[in-house]
Structures are given as structure tokens and as C-alpha cells.
Amino acid sequence: MFEFLFKYSPTVFRKGEFVFLTGWPLWLLVALVAGAAAGLAWHLAHSPKSSHVALVRRVLVCVCQTILLAVLLTLLWHPVMRVATLRPQQNVVAILVDTSRSMAIKESPDTRLDKVQASLNSGLLKKIQDRFQVRLYTFSSEPNRIDNAAQLTPAGNATRLGGSLAGVLRETSTLPLGAVVVFSDGADNTGGLDRAVLAEIRQKHIPIHTIGIGRTEIPRDLEIADVTLPARALPGSRLSARVQLRHNGLSGQRAHLSIRDGGRILAARDVTLGPQSLQTEEMLFLSGEPGTRKLTIAVDPLPGEEVTGNNLLTRIVQVTAGRRRILYIEGEPRWEFKFIRRAADEDQSVQLVSLLRTSANKFYRQGVDDAKQLAEGFPTTAAELFQFEGLVIGTIEANFFSAAQQDLIKEFVNRRGGSVLFLGGRKSFTEGGWQASPLAEVLPVRLGTQTGVFHRRPVKASLTPQGRESLLCRLEEDSDKSAARWAKLPDLADYQLTGELKPGAVALLNAQLPGSKDIPLLVVQNYGRGRSLIFATGGSWRWRMRLDHKDTTHPTFWQQLLRSLVANTPSPLTLTSDRVIYSDDDHVRLRAEVRTKTYEPASNASLAATLLDEAGRLTRFEMHPSPDQEGIYEAEIAAAKPGSYQVEVTAHRTDEQLGRDTLVFHREDGIAENFHPQQNRELLEKIAAETGGRYWRLEDVAKLPAEISFSEAGITTRETMDLWDMPAVFILLLLVLSTEWLLRRMWGAV
């Protein structure tokens, strides 16, 4: 219809330039139209023949005649569209056909690839070849040139649209490439089109026409779309896996979800599939002993599922060996101290080094490495304090610490990225003058000035909504059961009023004061690179003494709280990769953040990096400083074969070793194509729109050959296309004249 009315396809108007050929000034046209309108208006206003006609009618006649004149005058200026078109047979058009395994999916009754072949061989390819030189490629991970469309086999393990397009551009860089045509289901499993590739295509003005293949929805399909898990964990800690399920046509059904470590089931439960196609389920499990865990997250196939290969995902978790060190300074002997120590001593993942002021001038040290450690009291240098990863400050006056030590504690959180936990007690918070300390800024609550706010009265701790969801407060894997246990816990021995929460702080536990509103008890907030927490009581030991000796509530809570202090504390060298599992992809980006012993970014470090593959082959590689960020070093390496790889990096500066870190990642092949098998129309439309091409449905693709011509890439010519003879112009003129005639007829003027 559009082409009937406007003579040309929409692409001509979208890509072309509208100009007047006569070269007469445009202002003259505007002036003539305005003059004609004014003249007509004057004539109708002063003509004695029209003096008896109503004003509204005169205005309508004037408008009709003005439009008529304006159109005629515009046509006199000779309007045309100028558009760049590819010169026939002088340009190359690359046709890429997706031959990844997802193209083998049968869709009534042919496979996706069968449909592409049928379309190409039914004359489409010949029509394109009539106008252009055609280069035919298949692609999955990379493009392969083929001679004809008969050689198509859907065997590719992955779809890399970006990489394949980049490959074609490289191969045709010396050729006049006019356009690219991509037949694909768009089920890319490497994150879509790379920005650099997109920029290169844009720069060359190469339009990419995408032809979407396959259904945009798979009926009756259940897929594990993603699993979010921490890459590293402490031994024996409770981990949360957030499993994202995507399902279609299965709402209301029950599915069995499990996490396995080899043959061992770590967590399993049934879930009900909700009305939304995406839903997230949380699975909790214990990290276990130190080592690398290759976890399988699976959902059992449901009856009638077409694709079951997407019901399983693999993730790797590194359970780090060694104890993370926490320094606990306590101002007076008290029961809370004893039971915190007991909880920590039972935890193999933390080392609680404590400094207890037993009398006015005496300290009792526990958990120290040797007789010298902390012999002089609380650390006075960054190097000494920053060797710890977490800090607990018990009930002690603020002025026990020197000004320098207070600054050091602040930097411990801000720069070193450690976490600090302040406990309630008779010398804590305002009772200890902390409101006047520089450390008040670090606290997650605003301290008042009032003293006498520490009360040795029993009080019940209750979960806040955030605390209910937090792993830190989780006593059972199931949040409802956990909340039920919290509700039954004995009272705390005491509590302390602190102040209102700062913006960004989150209360996980409140204390329920009888006849009064709840007050914050356990509060956490981020501060700098680390975190600060308060636990405004010294009486959680009642959870140990007032429950059966086999009850684990108290040690579980405290072990989780202590681990939360150190779980995310960075070490001087932190090595990360852009992914942990590389599905049908060998391209690995590594990043190392290196800091000095005082946790300043180490800009002039030398890094020794090695890659160990499963066969025991050791490869050395370089890590280069990032040009953008101080203390950041980067590398791109290739994981040549499927399997597990271990990267080890050591950073030195002169003769001093700054840090060492290891990282494990895994490459697996033949997996990626099982996921997102439906047509990703959104991605294909985006690629077409970003490059000046167009998204096509397979059934509309017959018009493609004509459309390909409109391109500014390759060898082009600028075509001038007249607009005066567009049917739409004549229809407009006819409409205006008819309208005026009909009006006059209605008014009895003719």
C-alpha cells in the first residue's frame, strides 16, 4: 500500500535525502504560498459576490484553495528523493546462515535450517545474485564460507553473532561489501553483539538485514536461565544460590530443583511454577571443605518438554582454605565474650584473635599466632591492623583508642575493605563516648548524646523483613522455618539504645521493648570498600545458656555474623575473571587488583601469572596495567580445550611479595545451544536497527533483494527519484478539489 501511494519503498524515504531540483530559493516558495493565501483571503473578504456568504464558509474555501496552490507551487520546485544505491554487480553481499544446533529444532514439520534452505533455494538467492556478488557463509562460533546453500548442517555448539560478523568483516575488508544478510534464530550465547564490532559496522555504514527464524516462544519448556552464586566461599559456610527459572506453558506445575556436587545432593526441593515466565528460587547449601566445587544445578524435566538440555547448569565455587583473621578487642570480661569465642573456635574458617582487658592495665590475648602478636596492645600501624580482615569492638570507651588508632580503624573499613562490628555494652556507643569519635561516621546509626541507655533487662530479638531474607540471620534453610525459630528464641540479657539508622543502613534484627516501639539491634551498612555493623547487646549468650546444649542457634548465628565480616574482605591481590563457566567460548578476560600492605593501589607491581590446564600443562602469561585504573592489571587468555583451568598470579614490588591469588574457571562445550532456543527477535531487531538494516520475517523475505540496494557501503551511486508523480500527490489534489466542490454543492453555490 505504502509503495502504491508513495511510489517507493519506505527505505527510500528513511535513507534518502529530500531536495528540490530547481535550485530556486525555498523562501520564495514560502513567500508565494503565503502571498497566494493572503490574496485569496483578501479576494474572498472584499468580493461583492461573496459578501453574502458566511465567514466560516469563506474561510473553508480559502483553506482548500490555499492547499491546492501550495501543492502545485511545491511541485513546480521539482521535489525529489536522493538516495545512495549499490551499483549492480559491483558490490558484495554477505549472506550468513546460522548453523548452530538450535537451528536443528523442528518446527512443524521442518527444522529451522530446512526453512532457511527452502527460502534461499526458492529463488531468493538467485534474485540477490542477479544484482550483487554473493558470499555465502555458515556460522556458529565463527563464519565458514560455503559455495551453495546445499551444504548446511546444524552442528555448531554455540552461536556467536558478534564474533561471526566481525570475522566476515575482516575477511571482506578489501572488498566492496554493500550489505550483510543474516539468517538466524538470534539465540546468541555469548552476550549479543560486541560494542567494538558494532562500532566497526556503523563506521563502514554496512546495513545488516536480519531474518528471524523460528518461534519466539517454545511451548512447554522449562529452563534454568541463570544461577547466581558467589565465586568464592569460606569452608562450611551457608551459601545461597539464586536460581532463575524460565518456563512457558507450565504454570502451576511442580518441578524438582536440586544442587549436586558430583553425586552428592547438597540441596533439593520442589517448586511451583508461577504465572510469570521468569521466577527466582533461592537454594541454600553448605560450602563444605576447602577445594573447588563443580556444582550442577538441575531441574527435572517435566512431561511434554520439547527441549530438556536447558534443564541443567554448571557453576564453580572455590572454597578457600585457611582461616580468615578477625581481631576482637573487648574492654571487660563478660559472658558474651566467652560464648563468641566458643562459636569462633568451633568454626574452621575464621581465626578470632582477641584482646581482652581483664583489669585496668592487663590484657589477656587469645587466638594469637605467637607470643609477640598484640603484645603491645591494639595495633598502631596500618600494616599491623590490616593483616586482619574483620574487626570486632566490644564494650570499651572510645578514648581507649588514640586519635591515630581511631583513624586507622576508619581506614581499615574505608580503604582496606574490612568490616567492623561494634557490640553493645556498658562502655559502648554513647556510654563510651563514641558519639564524639571520628568513628561515629563509620557507624550505621546516628548516635545521640544520651547516656544511661544500656539496660540489663531481658528483651526479645525479632527479625526485620530484611533480616528474614538475610543469610546472616538464617537459622534454617527455609526462611519460614528460620523465622519460626527466631520467634521461639529466649530473651537477650540486655540491650542498648543507639539511634536512628543512617541512609543506606539496614536493620536485620530489632529489639522488641515491652510497650514501646522496636529499636534497632543488628544493623549493617556499607562504608567505603568495607562494611560496618552494630549489634546493640551484650546478652546474646542467653541463646546458649537458655537452650538445650545441643541447640546450635547461638554458634550458628555468631559464626555467620563473623564470617560475614570477612567473606568479602579483599586480599592484597584479588584475581577475578569475567565468567566462571565458559560455555563453548575460549576467550577469558582476567583482572587482578593489587594493593600494597597498607592497601594503597600498587601501580608499579610486577605480576607473574600462570595457567594450568587439566592435562597439567603450565603456561605463563603477562598481565598488563590498566590504563584507566591504578593498581588494576588485565590479561586476555585462551582456554583452548574444554576442562578446568587454574590461574595463579603473584604480585611483587622490588623484593617484596605483595600478594598471591588463585582462580579456577571451567570451559565446557556443547552446552550453550541448549539454552534460550527460542528466536531472539529482540536481538535481531536491535542489530538491524543499530546498523541501518531491517528485521525481516521469513515470509516477507521476497522483498529483501530490492531493499538491499539501498546502502551507503560499498560502491554506490546516488539516484534521484521524482516525487511529483507520486499517486499520493494526485490523490491529495483530487481530495482538495472534491472537498471544495462538495462544500459548495452543500451550500447551494453550484
Work out which of 174, 359, 449, 654 binds another protein, going by CB under 8 A: 359
Integer Cα distance of 280 and 484 in angstroms = 23
Q: CA 505 from chain center: how many Å?
A: 24
The yes or no reply on residue 356 touching another protein (CB under 8 A) is yes
Number of residues that bind another protein (CB under 8 A): 33
The one segment of 52-60, 155-163, 340-348, 525-533 that binds another protein by CB under 8 A: 340-348
Considering the rule CB under 8 A, would residue 366 count as an interface residue with another protein? yes
How would DSSP label each residue in 168-235?
A: HHHHTTTS-EEEEEEEE----SS-SS-HHHHHHHHHHT--EEEEE-S-SS-SSEEEEEEEE--SEE-T
| Binds another protein (CB under 8 A): choice among 337, 378, 401, 495 | 337
Q: Cβ closer to another protein: 454 or 527?
A: 454
**Looking at 88-96, 354-362, 590-598, 626-634, which segment touches another protein (CB under 8 A)?**
354-362
Residue 362 vs 620, nearer CB to another protein? 362
Shortest Å, Cβ 433 to another protein = 17
Site for another protein in 435-464 (CB under 8 A): 456-457
Shortest separation between residue 475's beta carbon and another protein, angstroms:
18
The one-letter amino acid at 488: K
DSSP H stretches of helix in 334-423: 335-345, 382-385, 403-414
264 by DSSP, 3-state: which? strand
Q: If binding is defined by CB under 8 A, does position 246 make contact with another protein?
A: no
Applying CB under 8 A, the span of 45-53, 355-363, 379-387, 652-660 interacting with another protein comes to: 355-363
d(CA 594, CA 571): 9
Smallest distance, Å, CB 608 to another protein? 42
**From the CB of 673, what's the least distance to another protein, in Å?**
54
Judged by CB under 8 A, which of 426, 485, 502, 681 binds another protein?
426
Question: Which of 338, 481, 697, 745 is close enough to bind another protein by CB under 8 A?
Answer: 338
CB atoms closer than 10 angstroms to residue 124: 22
98 versus 330: smaller Cβ distance to another protein: 330
Of residues 341 and 410, the one with the C-beta less far from another protein: 341
Determine, following the binding rule CB under 8 A, whether residue 382 of this chain makes contact with another protein. Answer: no
Out of 15, 57, 342, 579, point to the residue binding another protein (CB under 8 A): 342
Which H, E and C letters describe 156-180, residue by residue?
ECCCCHHHHHHHHHHHCCCCCEEEE
User: In terms of CB distance, is 12 or 497 closer to another protein?
Assistant: 497
Binding of another protein by 341 (CB under 8 A): yes
Query: Smallest distance, Å, CB 338 to another protein?
Result: 5
- Region near another protein per CB under 8 A, out of 89-97, 132-140, 330-338, 688-696: 330-338
Residue 294 sits in the site that holds another protein (CB under 8 A): no
Nearer to another protein, 269 or 342 (CB): 342
Are the CB atoms for 186 and 684 separated by under 8 Å?
yes
Q: Which CB sits closer to another protein, 352 or 463?
A: 352
C-beta of 360: minimal distance to another protein in Å? Answer: 7
DSSP 142: S
The answer to whether 648 touches 584, Cβ cutoff 8 Å, is no
**Is 489 an interacting residue with respect to another protein (CB under 8 A)?**
no
Contacting range for another protein; rule: CB under 8 A; set: 164-172, 204-212, 336-344, 716-724: 336-344
The minimum distance between CB 538 and another protein, in angstroms, equals 8
**Rounded CA separation 588/582 (Å):** 8
Residues 529-558 that bind another protein (CB under 8 A): 538, 541-542, 544-549
Stretch 130-169: interaction string toward another protein, x if CB under 8 A = ----------------------------------------
Displacement of CA 540 from its chain's centroid (Å) = 39
Nearest-approach distance from CB 535 to another protein, in angstroms: 16
Whole-Å CA distances, 439 to 31, 357, 386, 399, 434? 75, 21, 17, 11, 7
How, if at all, do strands 264-272 and 291-299 pair? unpaired
With respect to another protein, which residue has the nearer C-beta, 456 or 624? 456
Q: Establish if 112 lies at the interface with another protein (CB under 8 A).
A: no
* 339 binds another protein per the rule CB under 8 A: yes
Among 200, 261, 345, 477, binds another protein (CB under 8 A): 345
Tell me how far, at minimum, the Cβ of 414 lies from another protein, in Å. 31
Pick from 21, 14, 9, 7: which is nearest to 74 by CA?
Answer: 21
Cis, peptide link before residue 109, omega less than 30° from 0? yes
Q: Quick one: 6 or 335, whose CB is closer to another protein?
A: 335
Secondary structure (H, E, C), 474-543: CCCCCHHHHHHHHHCCCCECCEECCCCECCCCEEEEEEECCCCCCEEEEEEEEECCEEEEEECCCCCCHH
> Rounded to the nearest whole angstrom, what is the least distance from the CB of residue 384 to another protein in the complex?
23
Name the residue with cell 539504645. Answer: 497
Q: Does 373 bind another protein (CB under 8 A)?
A: no
Binding status of residue 331 toward another protein by CB under 8 A = yes
Give me the least distance between CB of 307 and another protein, in Å please: 53
Handedness of CA 673, 674, 675, 681 (dihedral sign): positive
Task: Report the residue number, 240 or 366, with the smaller CB distance to another protein.
Answer: 366
Region from 54-62, 206-214, 337-345, 500-508 binding another protein, contact rule CB under 8 A: 337-345
Whether 669 contacts 642, CB under 8 Å: yes
Max intra-chain CA distance, the chain: 119
Backbone angles phi, psi at 35, to 5 degrees: -65, -40
Minimum separation from the CB atom of position 545 to another protein (A): 5
Beta strands in 273-385, from DSSP E residues, in sequence order = 278-286, 291-299, 312-319, 324-330, 350-359, 362-366
Tally the C-alpha atoms within 13 A of residue 45's C-alpha that lie toward its C-beta: 7
Give the residues across from 643 on adjacent strands: 667
| Min CB(513)–another protein separation in Å | 16
The DSSP symbol for 122 reads I
CA distance 487 to 223: 37
Residue numbers at the binding site for another protein (CB under 8 A): 331-335, 337-339, 341-342, 345-346, 356-360, 362, 364, 366, 426, 456-457, 493, 538, 541-542, 544-549
